[in-house]
Amino acid sequence: MAACIEQIPLITSLVDGELDAVNSALAEAHVARCEGCREEFERQQAIRTLVSKPGIAHQAPESLKRRIEALPELSARRQWSARRVGSWLAPAATGAIAASAALLLLTSPSQQSLLDQQLISSHVRSLQPGHLTDVQTTNEHIVKPWFNGKIDFAPPVPELADQGFPLAGGRLDSIGGKTVAALVYHRRLHTVNLFVWRGNSRNRTEVEDGFALAEWSEDGLRFAAVSDIPLADLRQFEQLYRSRAGLAQPGS
């Protein structure tokens, strides 16, 4: 079966690790349900693995390298360059190293940014058919005990339907290599994923890649809500969830 023509550039970027969290999740979801694109993905992965093996690319013999390095023309040029450049190379190199280090610090993704990408990726992936819930019910008394034995903590599962955020169910997910509880609520036609795991974090709300995020922690548990609803609505969800779950309100 042939791959979807419009998906091939995305598949190539996925294999090369060039996609952001959202597009990576979307591409992975498409590959999972499309046989042709899955075959193309596996083909490109196999090629990438093959060409990266030692011995595939031609290696010039060491004897040729030594002969080239020993050429008189190169030797004379190296001596001239050393005399010409030596007087200013050290301070210039120091400045270049400092600039490179500063640039690396500015451009390297922070741990928080990497976590946000994982949260958004997990949220987007959950929206694919069959991925949203492991236990699908609006009954909090079914969702909460469903996690017993699957994780070593009990996430609060309040019902918020009367405030416009009906419970849809829950599932297990993975964030930062940890198994987490994912509580699923709806907001009209939108989905709110609330990830809960052991840990601590600072309280924050922000928008990342078009998705609203709210994060807080209490009693050794870390909470992170993600949705494509407006940030004000997600703040309202956080306040309602905290209130119904008996948690402290933001800023208290």
In one-letter notation, the amino acid at residue 213 is: L
> Using CA atoms, how far apart are residues 131 and 31, in angstroms rounded to an integer?
14
Does 234 or 178 have the greater pLDDT score? 234
pLDDT value, residue 188 = 92
User: What is the pLDDT averaged over residues 94-118?
Assistant: 59
> How would residue 103 be classed by pLDDT, with cut points 50, 70 and 90?
very low
CB-based contacts of 126, cutoff 8 Å, min separation 6:
132, 171, 173, 182, 184, 191, 193
State yes or no: pLDDT of 252 exceeds 50: yes
pLDDT value, residue 53 = 67
Q: What is the rounded average pLDDT for all residues in the chain?
A: 81
CB-based contacts of 217, cutoff 8 Å, min separation 6:
199, 200, 201, 203, 223
State yes or no: pLDDT of 2 exceeds 60: yes
pLDDT value, residue 148 = 93
State yes or no: pLDDT of 224 exceeds 50: yes
> How would residue 98 be classed by pLDDT, with cut points 50, 70 and 90?
low
> Between 111-126 and 21-33, two packed helices, what is the crossing angle to 10 degrees?
30
pLDDT value, residue 77 = 55
Residue extent(s) of CATH 3.30.200.100 domains in the chain: 122-245
State yes or no: pLDDT of 109 exceeds 70: no
Percent of the chain with pLDDT over 90: 40
> Using CA atoms, how far apart are residues 137 and 197, in angstroms rounded to an integer?
21
**Dihedral over alpha carbons 116, 119, 122, 123 (to 10 degrees):** -110
Does 79 or 213 have the greater pLDDT score? 213
C-alpha torsion sign, points 30, 34, 37, 42: positive
State yes or no: pLDDT of 96 exceeds 60: no
Q: Tens digit of pLDDT for each residue in 19-33?
A: 776 677 777 777 877
Question: Among 53-62, 95-104, 134-143, 156-165, which stretch is predicted with the lowest mean pLDDT?
Answer: 95-104
> How would residue 85 be classed by pLDDT, with cut points 50, 70 and 90?
very low
**DSSP helix/strand/coil, 164:** coil
State yes or no: pLDDT of 226 exceeds 90: yes
> Between 8-15 and 21-33, two packed helices, what is the crossing angle to 10 degrees?
110
Per-residue buried b or exposed e for 186-198, using 16+ beta carbons within 10 Å of the residue's own CB: bbeeebbbbbbbe
> How would residue 177 be classed by pLDDT, with cut points 50, 70 and 90?
confident
pLDDT value, residue 105 = 43
Does 137 or 91 have the greater pLDDT score? 137
The helix (H) or strand (E) run that includes residue 226 is strand 221-227
Which architecture, in CATH terms, is 122-245? 2-Layer Sandwich (3.30)
> Using CA atoms, how far apart are residues 236 and 120, in angstroms rounded to an integer?
19
